[in-house]
């Protein structure tokens, strides 16, 4: 199962980002574990200075704005086909 974290303080853009990722996973039929990280020290620990940030399986893949739906679909599908 893919682990995805949305890094941010709970602002509107962070909430939108979480929704986009959840929707992309549902559309793709991929099960994910989505976690919202709101602790500033934890966010900075990933080196993210501008939120929202997105971490997929421990790797920062995005920061500084709301990702597009195509980006989110790519994150949830990446490796899903071979994850049998």
Listed in sequence order, the DSSP H helices in 9-78 are 12-28, 40-45, 69-77
Does 64 participate in catalysis according to the annotation?
no
Which one is catalytic: 6, 7, 14, 37?
14
Which one is catalytic: 1, 3, 10, 11?
11
Does 11 participate in catalysis according to the annotation?
yes
Q: Distance (Å, rounded) from C-alpha 75 to C-alpha 13? A: 18
Q: Are 66 and 13 in contact (CB under 8 A)?
A: yes
Catalytic residues: 11, 14
């Amino acid at each position: 199962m893919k682990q995805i974290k949305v890094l941010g303080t709970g602002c509107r853009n962070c909430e939108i980002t979480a929704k986009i990722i959840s929707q992309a996973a549902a559309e793709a039929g991929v099960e994910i574990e989505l976690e919202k990280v709101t602790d500033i020290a934890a966010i900075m620990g990933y080196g993210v200075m501008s939120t929202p940030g997105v971490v997929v399986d421990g790797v920062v893949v995005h920061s500084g704005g709301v990702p597009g739906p195509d980006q989110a679909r790519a994150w949830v599908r990446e490796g899903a086909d071979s994850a049998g």
